[in-house]
Amino acid sequence: MRIVLLGAPGAGKGTQAKKLIDKYVIPQISTGDILRKAVTDQTPLGKEAKSYMDKGELVPDSVVIGLVKERLNQDDCKKGFILDGFPRNTSQAETLDGVLKDLNMPLTVALSVDVDFDVLMKRLTGRRTCKNCGQMYNVYFSPSSKESSCDKCGGELYQRDDDKEETIKRRLDVYKAQTEPLIDYYAGKGIIKRVNGIGDINAIFNNITSMLES
Ligand code: AMP
């Protein structure tokens, strides 16, 4: 199974990707996670990426494409993969097609997780993450019992730099302008599937797996 996951920031792509990797035992390739790690580790790449990420802009294609190419060439991707957060624009999608053609591993499906704008805003502005164990909360939908500490480990909860309101608006605008057109791009290739991303996480996951297996 070679999957591209599409969906606006906050649509729940990452959550569904984690469930898919457990079920299909294939790696998740999240460009957002790779870039955030580079920022935390203060690598040269992380330093370059941070200014774009903090503004809600896309990191230049040249940076991201290199990362994905390198990852797709690793052995564990031979059995399949889930790309989460990549491609983000048509140029990345075209490059990806070329890379996968060379590897003789064409995409099986592009799966779009669809969520309304208002819900996305609440999901993103309300999101809090534990600094210690990574557990995620949402102040509107799934709060921790103590406002600023984690129920699981007591760690401090923080808001991602790019989850601040102004940045979120920009990220959603960038999604609409640059990433949403990929739904048509993959529809043209006959591999798009769309799922409603509002509701119970497990119910959404069941819809996804029945779509993937139909
Ligand atoms: P995400 O966690 O996928 O929402 O990504 C967080 C941020 O990382 C985005 O707002 C971008 O600044 C950057 N980013 C992640 N994936 C890409 C990509 N494929 N192309 C360009 N920038 C990306």
The per-residue pLDDT for range 144-177, each reduced to its tens digit, is 999 899 999 999 999 988 888 889 999 999 999 9
* pLDDT value of position 33: 92
49 CA to centre of ligand 1 in angstroms = 9
What's the confidence (pLDDT) of residue 165?
Answer: 87
Catalytic residue among 2, 13, 71, 128: 13
Handedness of CA 121, 160, 96, 110 (dihedral sign): negative
> What pLDDT shows up at residue 30?
94
Residue ID of nearest Cα to ligand 1 atom 5 = 32
Residue 160's pLDDT is 84
* Per-residue model confidence (pLDDT) at position 147: 86
Among candidate residues 152, 124, 151, 117, the one with its CA nearest the CA of residue 139: 124
Residue 118, token pair as written in the block: 């208002």
Below-70 pLDDT ranges, the chain = none
Task: Verify whether residue 171 is a known catalytic residue.
Answer: yes
Torsional sign, CA 136, 140, 145, 149: positive
Can 13 be counted among the known catalytic residues? yes
Tell me the fold of 2-26+79-115+178-213: Rossmann fold (3.40.50)
